[in-house]
Structure 1
Amino acid sequence: MFKHRFLWVAALSASFLLPQTSYGWGGRAHSVIDQTAIDAIPTDGPVFLKQHAALISQSASIPDTWRASSEPFSKIAEDPNHGWFREQFAFMKIPPRSRYEFILALYREHERLLATNPAAASRMNVRWTGTLPYAVVEGYGHLVADMRLIREMKAKSLNTNTLETDVAFMVAWMGHYVGDGSQPLHVTIHHDGWVGPNPKNYTRNPAVHGRFESRYADMIALDEADLLPRLGAVAHQNGDVFNEVISYLDRSHQDVEKVYALDKSGALDDPKNPKARELIYERTAAAAAMLRDLVCRAWHESALPPEVNNSDPTNPSSPGYDSATGSVPAALARAPASSPAN
């Protein structure tokens, strides 16, 4: 488990500071997103997480600390999980339901481009496309499995305190990617300044990323009270989880140009600008709502018996087996039919 990590993280103060690098929503926004999501969990959700709200909110930016060049193995593995630069892999009409299938599809396109456009080929890889939705749904699976174990242990009158703390950190871990996914500049090739044709003369300065997600959130003192009224009722409880996450990222992408237009107008220098404030409020509230919804759905799904698949997805004789990835892509996820009791 993560016992030693939790002892360390629990000792962090609310003023925990990250290196000054534009990695994702700033420390304030990530913390507020997570705190809001946990406080908004309804009574039929995993209410035990409310006891760990401080741990979750204070751990919200931990995944960014895994991206320093001083830890190269960690950085190489972690960097792609924070972005989803859809324009870069527009040749894929529908993203595959497997991280490895996605990586292999990128490699095949990389190989094709090498002969005609080496510059484009150099960016046809996970570092320049991102793997954010896979990080979210993989984290979701971890939550379902461990929440199911909590239920089993409680049924046997066993103490679940340690496992509940582990789950709280997993919520913060997955929640970081959910938060990044609501930031428009995390779902576009224009993540650090406008690239390519630029008829509207948007800035090409990478600093635009930090001006929006960190500096402006700090300037307006973003707070939970700004987000809670914007959350709405629990949603995303039906339909396939992966498809729900993809749709969530597509919605974020709609605001890419809005960020650049606000920056160009000088709105991101004005903490009283209503359009800039509203975009920050709307996007961070969307993240808090999505995190709450996924956590609640995981809890409800954990009450259901595990689905029994008669075929082993890693067995070469299983239907749909992909010999390149060594597995069968994930099937469409079931939706909890109702909200089971705690």
Structure 2
Amino acid sequence: MGREVKAKEMAEWALGPLSVNASRGLGLSFGPPQGVRCGRKIAGRLHFSKAAGFVPARKAQNFAFRFSPICLAFLMFNLSRRVRRWLPVTALLVAAPSLLSAWGTWGHQRINRAAVLALPPALRTLFYNHIDFMVEESVIPDLRKYTINDRAEFPRHFIDLEDYGPGPISQLPQTSKEAYAKYDPAFLDKSGRLPWYIQDMMGKLTQAMKNGRKDDILFIAADLGHYLGDAVQPLHTSANHDGQLTGQKGIHAFFESQLVEQFGSSYNFKVAQPKVIDPVAETWRILAQSHAAADTLLSIEKTLAAATPAAQVYAVDAQGQIKKNVFNSQVHALPYATSYHTALKHMVERQLRTATQAAADYWYTAWVNAGKPDLAKLDTEYTTRSNAKNLKTELKLIQKGKLVDFSSFPEFETLK
């Protein structure tokens, strides 16, 4: 991956969302000067990775451009003065690829993609026209959290339910208004704001749809998909989020990243047609289910570890040292990972599918509550027609529970 980044993401890392007119939501709506070669053509449908660069709007489907000095010069020439002031900050971020993803890149990206395909045609048209943006943006909340150390971002990704008292979850403030009135901001930052931030995002998405603001709709919806994915990850609901309280440190990355990267290709991502939900009640229902699963996944791993010789728990290199992933997490041995995955009885797949259903339900509910506006008109007919063939292909695949093959930043090596 090196020092290559996508143009739009590069700007977003420094500034947050930009209001730009992007073809298919992939990059800024301009390309390098005619005759300047900034990349290479790639065959077939383009599924952008972090290595994608500047994309001419009219060629977004067929080209990727590698980040280079001449492309940077073109970016600086075209971007506003405000953006130029942030380019030194962006350059620092480009130089830190090891921090690009906190966890679950593979899962978050597939949650959003599958959720787009589950939408009814009236809503799906806009989202699918920009599906590559929806996929890539799904991990941006983690980049804000770790890459630029946005302090406000951290508590949006979890809630340590144990910190809120021993009573049932139904006794907690259900709405964000109630929570912000009851709890001190410092407590919320320490113990998590996830359920209430989801509600805040739903309100913003509904308003964006009412206003017909395409950039806002896509940006908020994609980020909302990320937070819903966090809500269905059991360890994001527990103070014992990395097994540090039960002698299982490292289980967080093991459960949500190594297992999905190792076994996710077999998962079924087909979900039901989206339905209108009560966002408040549904958020707490999801969290209750997730929290109940946390003890299950921890106890299963604890039992497995006790029955497995210590030398067989982790993968080792030629020197006999435990292997580490790109974020310095220990890599579990394939037989151990396989046994754990089997003992979980499809829990990982089930949680990913729950997140996919949730994303589709929340997006659909926001659209209905906004009055079912015609969002397809926010794109040109040409844009929609140009995506029709690919959409048809993906809809056939999802009927079998499958998604098109696209690359995600690998956090763990594939063990064999």
TM-score range, shorter chain: 0.5 to 0.7
Mind listing any 5+ residue stretches in structure 1 that lack a counterpart?
Answer: 109-123, 151-162, 196-201, 306-342
Find the counterpart in structure 2 of residue 311 from structure 1.
Answer: none
Find the counterpart in structure 2 of residue 106 from structure 1.
Answer: 183
Distance 2:97 2:194 in 1: 21
Mind listing any 5+ residue stretches in structure 2 that lack a counterpart?
Answer: 1-16, 28-46, 52-95, 306-312, 314-331, 374-416
Listed as ranges, the matches of 1:280-319 within 5 Å are 280-303=348-371
C-alpha distance 5-65 of structure 1, shift in aligned 2 (>3 A): farther
Structure 1 residue 142 displacement after superposition: 1.3
> Quick check: which has more Rg, 1 or 2?
2
Task: Kindly indicate whether the alpha-carbon contact (under 8 Å) linking 1:88 and 1:129 is maintained by their aligned counterparts in 2.
Answer: yes
Q: Which amino acid aligns with 1:192?
A: D
Listed as ranges, the matches of 1:1-342 within 5 Å are 2-4=18-20, 10-11=26-27, 13-14=48-49, 19=98, 23-24=102-103, 26-68=104-146, 71-72=148-149, 74=150, 76-90=151-165, 94-99=171-176, 101-107=178-184, 125-150=187-212, 163-195=213-245, 202-205=246-249, 207-220=250-263, 222-223=264-265, 226-229=267-270, 231-235=271-275, 237-238=276-277, 240-264=278-302, 265=304, 269-271=336-338, 273-276=341-344, 278-303=346-371
Cα RMSD, aligned residues only: 3.2
Structure 1 residue 275 displacement after superposition: 3.5
Task: Kindly indicate whether the alpha-carbon contact (under 8 Å) linking 2:118 and 2:272 is maintained by their aligned counterparts in 1.
Answer: no
**Which structure has the higher relative contact order (CA within 8 Å, separation 6+)?**
1
Task: Kindly indicate whether the alpha-carbon contact (under 8 Å) linking 2:137 and 2:222 is maintained by their aligned counterparts in 1.
Answer: yes
Distance 2:259 2:97 in 1: 17
Structure 1 residue 137 displacement after superposition: 1.2
C-alpha distance 18-39 of structure 1, shift in aligned 2 (>3 A): farther
TM-score (normalised: structure 1): 0.67
Distance 2:370 2:284 in 1: 22
Structure 1 residue 18 displacement after superposition: 6.7
Task: Kindly indicate whether the alpha-carbon contact (under 8 Å) linking 1:45 and 1:300 is maintained by their aligned counterparts in 2.
Answer: no
Aligned-pair identity in percent equals: 21
TM-score (normalised: structure 2): 0.56
Task: Kindly indicate whether the alpha-carbon contact (under 8 Å) linking 2:242 and 2:252 is maintained by their aligned counterparts in 1.
Answer: yes
Structure 1 residue 204 displacement after superposition: 3.8
**Aligned residue pairs: how many?**
262
Structure 1 residue 101 displacement after superposition: 4.4
Q: Which amino acid aligns with 1:234?
A: P
Structure 1 residue 43 displacement after superposition: 3.0
Distance 2:269 2:164 in 1: 35
Task: Kindly indicate whether the alpha-carbon contact (under 8 Å) linking 1:184 and 1:254 is maintained by their aligned counterparts in 2.
Answer: yes
Distance 2:21 2:239 in 1: 34
Distance 1:55 1:276 in 2: 32
Structure 1 residue 261 displacement after superposition: 2.8
3-state secondary structure, aligned to 2:267? helix
Distance 2:346 2:267 in 1: 10
Structure 1 residue 176 displacement after superposition: 0.8
Structure 1 residue 65 displacement after superposition: 1.0
3-state secondary structure, aligned to 2:49? coil
C-alpha distance 4-44 of structure 1, shift in aligned 2 (>3 A): closer
Alpha-carbon deviations, 1:114-155, whole Å to 9, x = none?
xxxxxxxxxx812331101122111111111111122xxxxx
